[in-house]
Amino acid sequence: MFQFFKKNSLLKLLPEVKGKYLTNVSLSKHTWFGVGGPAEVMYIPHDSDDLSFFIQECPKNVPVFLIGGGSNLLVRDGGIPGVVIKLDSPAFKQVSVGTNEITCGAGLHNIELKKYLLNHQIGGLEFLCSIPGVIGGSVKTNAGCFGREVKDVIKSVQIMNGLGKIKKVGVADLELGYRSSCFPDDWIILSITFVTTPDTKENIEKKLNDQKAYRVAKQPYNQKTAGSTFKNPQGLRAWELIKKSGCDTLSVGGAKVSEKHCNFLINTGNATAKDIETLGEIIINTVRQKTYITLEWEIKRVGIDK
C-alpha cells in the first residue's frame, strides 16, 4: 500500500514545471460526492509540453493519479498519496470545430459542450452534455445515456503514454465496451475528436431540454452523488435488483440510497467516504444473497482508508 511522503519531502523530488503544484488539497472539493481525504500534491500542467516533461522527469517511485471532473469517483477518507494530476488549465479545454467533427480538450466540462452545439448547429452529441464530469473521463469509461454511448460518436483520441509521448489512437483500437475501454492506466487523454451531424438549433435545444427534464424528474438532481453506482448486469437493470432485494431504503451514517433512483447513492451532507463505500458493499452482498447476482461498482474507488 502506498504511503504519504514526509511533510514537504515530495515536492523536493518533483521536477520544476511551468504549471502549478498545490499541496494537501482536499479532494472533497474536486468530487461530486463531496467526500475524501487530501491529495498529497496536486499538479495542474500548463500545457501538454509541460505535462510531458513532468511524466518523463518524475521519479518512478512517486505514485501518479489523474483526476477528471470527479463525477464518477469516490476518494477514500485517507486521501491519495503522491501526485494527483488535474488537466484544469485553458490548454486542455480548447475546442475546434471542423466539417462533421469537433475536437475537444479532455479538461472541457461536458456541460460546456452545449454552447458549441448550439452556436455551430452540431447534432449527435446532446447526450454528452447531460453527463456530469469532463470530456476525457467520459471517453475512458465509455459513458452513455439516452440510448447512446461515447463509442457511437468518437472518431479518435490524442493521448500521452507513460513515457510522455503523444500519439493519436483511432476508435477501432480503443475497444470501447459497456462502461469500459482498453486504455492502459498510464495513458492520459489530451483531446477527443467526435463525429457530428448537422442539425437545427431548435432540434438541438429541444433534445437538451428534454434530457435535462428527464434527469430532474427521474434522478437525484443538485445532490451530492456520483451518478449510477453499479453497472447493469447483462440483460438486467441494477436498480431493479436493488429494489427487489429490499435495499432501496438503506443508509449508513450520512450516506443513503436515493429515493428517486435506487442505483444512486447520496451524501446527505455529513457522509464520509467510508459511509458511502460501506453502503455500496452492503448492497452488493445483499443482492448477491437474494438473487445470486453480483453487482459490479461503476464508480471508481481510489485512495487509502483513514
How do residues 102-134 score in pLDDT, each as one tens digit? Answer: 999 999 999 999 999 999 999 999 999 988 889
Residues 251 and 264 in one domain: yes
Are 286 and 292 spatial neighbours (Cβ–Cβ below 8 Å)? Answer: no
Active site residue 179: yes
Active site residue 228: yes
Residue located via cell numbers 445515456? 145
The CATH code of the domain that includes 183 is 3.30.465.10
Residue located via cell numbers 471517453? 139
Q: Which of 181, 228, 245, 277 is catalytic?
A: 228
Q: What is the pLDDT of residues 53-76, one digit of tens each?
A: 999 999 999 999 999 999 899 999
Residues 162 and 148 in one domain: yes
* Non-local CB neighbours of 150 within 8 Å, separated by 6+ positions: 128, 138, 139, 142, 143, 144, 176
Q: Which of 179, 205, 258, 288 is catalytic?
A: 179
pLDDT at 257: 98
Active site residue 298: yes
Q: Where are the alpha helices (DSSP H) in 58-178?
A: 113-120, 126-129, 135-140
Indicate whether this model's pTM tops 0.75: yes
pLDDT at 1: 47
Q: Judge whether 154 lies within some domain.
A: yes
Q: Judge whether 211 lies within some domain.
A: no
Please count the structural domains in the chain. Answer: 3
Domain boundary among 57, 90, 123: 90
> Which residues form the domain of 247?
221-302
Mean pLDDT over each residue of the chain, to the nearest integer = 93
